[in-house]
Copies of this chain bind each other. A is one copy, B any other.
Amino acid sequence: MKIKVIVPLLTSKYNSAVQEELLPYIAPDVSITVVNLASGSSSIESRYDEIYSTPEIVNKIVESEEEGYDGVFVSCVSDPGISVAREIVDIPIVGGFEPAALSAGIISKRWGIITISQSCARLIRDLATLAGIHQQLACICSIDQPINELHKMPGQLEDVLLTKVKKMIGEEQVTAIVLGCTGMMGMAKYLSNEMKAVGIPIQVIDPTAVALGYLQMMIRAGLTHSRLEYPKLTLTKIND
Measured CB to CB, the residues of A under 8 A from B are: 24-30, 41-42, 45-52, 54-55, 58, 81, 83-84, 87-88, 94, 98-99, 102-103, 105-110, 117-119, 122, 125-126, 129-136, 169, 175-176, 189, 200-203, 205-206, 209-210, 212-214, 216-218, 220-231, 233, 237-238, 240
Query: Which residues of chain B are near A203, meaning CB under 8 Å?
Result: 223-226
Whole-angstrom distance between the Cβ of A227 and the nearest chain B Cβ: 4
The residue in A217, A226, A240 that gathers the most chain B C-beta atoms within 10 A of its C-beta is: A226
Q: Across the interface, do B224 and A217 meet the contact criterion of CB distance under 8 Å?
A: no
Q: How far is it, in angstroms, between the C-alpha of A125 and the C-alpha of B24 when the chains are bound?
A: 36
Q: Across the interface, do B132 and A25 meet the contact criterion of CB distance under 8 Å?
A: no
Q: Across the interface, do A106 and B110 meet the contact criterion of CB distance under 8 Å?
A: no
Q: Tell me the number of copies of this protein.
A: 6
Contact residue among B98, B117, B135, B206 (Cβ-Cβ distance under 8 Å from A106) = B98
Given A175-B228, A231-B118, A240-B42, A214-B106 contact (CB < 8 Å): yes
Whole-angstrom distance between the Cβ of A43 and the nearest chain B Cβ: 9
Minimal Cβ-Cβ distance residue in B for A45 = B237
Q: Across the interface, do A201 and B222 meet the contact criterion of CB distance under 8 Å?
A: no
Minimal Cβ-Cβ distance residue in B for A126 = B130
Given A107-B223, A213-B221, A214-B217, 16 extra CB contacts under 8 A: A27-B29, A27-B30, A45-B237, A47-B84, A48-B84, A106-B214, A107-B225, A108-B225, A109-B229, A110-B229, A122-B231, A200-B228, A202-B226, A210-B217, A213-B214, A216-B217
